[in-house]
Amino acid sequence: MSQAFAPIPPDETRPLPLAGVRVLDIATMAAAPWSAAYLAEFGADVIKVEMPGIGDHQRRWGTPKKGVSLFWKSMGRNKRSITLHLGKPKGAALFKRLVADADVIIENFRPGTLERWGIGYEVLRAINPRLILLRVTGFGQSGPYRSRPGFGTLAESLTGFAHLTGYPDGPPTLPNGPLADGVAGITGAFAVMVALYYRDTRRGVGQVIDLSLCEPLLRLMEPALLDYDQLGIARGRIGNRSDHVAPRNIYQCGDGRWVALSASAQPIFERLMHAIGHPELCSDPRFAVNSARLAHVEELDELISAWMRQHTRDEVLAHLEAAEVAVAPVYDIPDIFADPHFQARASLVTVPDADLGTIRMVNVVPRLSETPGRVCTTGPALGEHNDEVYSALGLSREELDQLQREGVI
């Protein structure tokens, strides 16, 4: 196994690639803080700026244990937490002092909110011309929907994702998880890295990144959008099949368990047909090429399903894997923790936590051979790093106590 793809053992002494990049994460909930988390995993100093006494709403979202949000522990990993009321004049003034040494600000307030508080980009850029501002909203900084409240659920609906998910005789279906937020979070981190590269290698100036929750997910919908634009085909729900390749589906085995199969590539389709005892179908006009298979997908799926029903899932997997057919079990959550491949790659990492002892969470992705990221800490307590961060600005103990009494921090 090459070093680039081998699990990289933790090395607490190895410098992380984004060390020296300072990020002010003033956002809440999922998408924008996720962008900050990706940067923190590779060494950016992410200071989580939260409302005094309240904090990020993410702290109260998801399943709790001992009164602590489990998702927050991952979303806040590698970050430092301070409290600051940005809507108060003294809070805005203190924020400007933090901005002077920052590289990136990540926010997800409705358009115009920062400007109303006197900390819009023009004001901040005058303090720090190299500043990059990532603005994540439901619908973007422009357009007729710009002022609407936005959540991932709305993006999953407006982009057509829910419309295409599910079975023809069932309702549109939302994902059981923050899909739009997750895709936007990754896109936001990518955008910040593009802006940092441009700033540091080209012009030396910062810029504003306008990211909506809708548009990253809309990019994933492109096959259906292209079909409509060029062919006038308005796709609908077709269950676990694909509009573009066949066979591709979820199949139930004889023991009631399920497998996912994708045999759309011609060589894999032919290996599949030999493996299930139907080599003659490789030259059958109904199935010989992908376009024909799509036209006769019901017949093809029934042939495959009939073979699946004659075998247990373990037998199906062993037989098809030996034939080099692309197949995988449909895992439930305990299966993920028990999977030997995920264990070998350390896809889940155990992290010490002050509240819960240890937590297993998803490891850093992607894997870089020379500059891997790592999970150093779980999400901090609200305001845990107030003294540390504000003392570095030169504030005295008496000043900090006064600001706390005034509700500024």
d(CA 103, CA 19) in angstroms, rounded, equals: 12
Query: If DSSP codes are grouped into helix, strand and coil, which group holds residue 193?
Result: helix
d(CA 373, CA 39) in angstroms, rounded, equals: 9
d(CA 176, CA 221) in angstroms, rounded, equals: 18
**DSSP state, residue 257:** -
Residue tagged 């036209």 (tokens): 295
Burial of 358 (0-12, 13-18, 19+ CB in 10 A): exposed
d(CA 85, CA 308) in angstroms, rounded, equals: 60
Closest CA to 323 of 268, 280, 282, 284: 268
Residue 178 to residues 106, 133, 174, 181, Cα–Cα distance (Å):
19, 23, 10, 5
d(CA 134, CA 139) in angstroms, rounded, equals: 14
Residue 98, φ and ψ in degrees, nearest 5: -65, -35
- How many degrees, rounded to 5, is the angle at CA 126 between CA 121 and CA 131? 60
**DSSP state, residue 22:** E
CB 88 within 8 A of CB 408: yes
Amino acid identity of residue 38, one-letter, is Y
> Among this protein's residues, is 314 annotated catalytic?
no
Burial of 12 (0-12, 13-18, 19+ CB in 10 A): exposed
- Helix ranges (H only) for 43-172 are 70-75, 89-99, 113-116, 121-127, 152-158, 161-164
| Marked catalytic residue, from 181, 227, 255, 332 | 181
The catalytic residues are 181
